Amino acid sequence: MKQAVEFEEMEEVDEVPVSAILTVQRSNPYGSIEGLEDDELADPDELERQVMAEEWGPVLMIPVKKGHSGIQPAIDESGGVDWGAFGTVDFERSRPEFDKARYKAEKLKEQRDDIIIIIQIVSGRLPGMAKDQVLKYLRLGIIELEDIASEDMRALAKLYLRVLRVQKEIRELAQASFRRRSAKAEAWLRSP
């Protein structure tokens, strides 16, 4: 049982479908190095990170003090900042006004802490317990700064007096801020 097979003539086809196995090969836009395969070269994203780290490294190494606010903005996937409810007009209205005295007191506290660190360094250079007696007599006014013969002790005494002045100023600012806030609270309670 043989079957006869007839062939029909087909028209010419201009385009033949591409096989799914074939892929388009594009050359590396960043170039290549002779003797190395492309996957041995650094990734373009890694190169960009290295350049950014080199250019911005000194800036990013600068120490930054953290803010006192607990409010942190949310960063969305495109890098934009979203303050949420804290960026609204309602928040601006309900937020307490800026208190200059409190702000200055906070800055003075930071300055005082820095001076205390310097005092600890200078105090480590002085032997014995005599330094405590000298500072006590200086605070009470029994001796003056000019009466101290040792340069290290005089430097310690100057720093000690400076800390006392800064602490006094901090107390005065805190009291002034408290009085101002109390007066505003009383005025608010008396208003109809």
**Would you say residue 29 lies in a domain?**
no
**Would you say residue 120 lies in a domain?**
yes
pLDDT at 47: 83
Residues 6+ apart with CB under 8 A from 86: 71, 73
Structural domain containing residue 139: 99-183
Identify which of 81, 76, 106 has the alpha carbon closest to the alpha carbon of residue 177: 106
Residues 6+ apart with CB under 8 A from 32: 38, 41
pLDDT at 13: 62
**Would you say residue 129 lies in a domain?**
yes
Helix (H) or strand (E) holding 133: helix 130-140
**Would you say residue 26 lies in a domain?**
no
User: CA torsion sign, 127 to 129 to 135 to 137?
Assistant: negative
Q: pLDDT tens-digit profile of 24-68?
A: 676 766 677 788 777 777 777 888 888 888 898 888 888 877 665
Question: How many domains, in total, are found in the chain?
Answer: 1
pLDDT at 57: 85
Q: How far apart are CA 85 and CA 59, in angstroms?
A: 31
**Would you say residue 10 lies in a domain?**
no
Phi, psi of 80 (to 5 degrees): -80, 155
**Weakly modelled stretches of the chain, pLDDT under 50:** none
**Would you say residue 47 lies in a domain?**
no
Identify the bridge partners of residue 81 per DSSP, sorted by sequence position.
Answer: 75
pLDDT at 188: 84
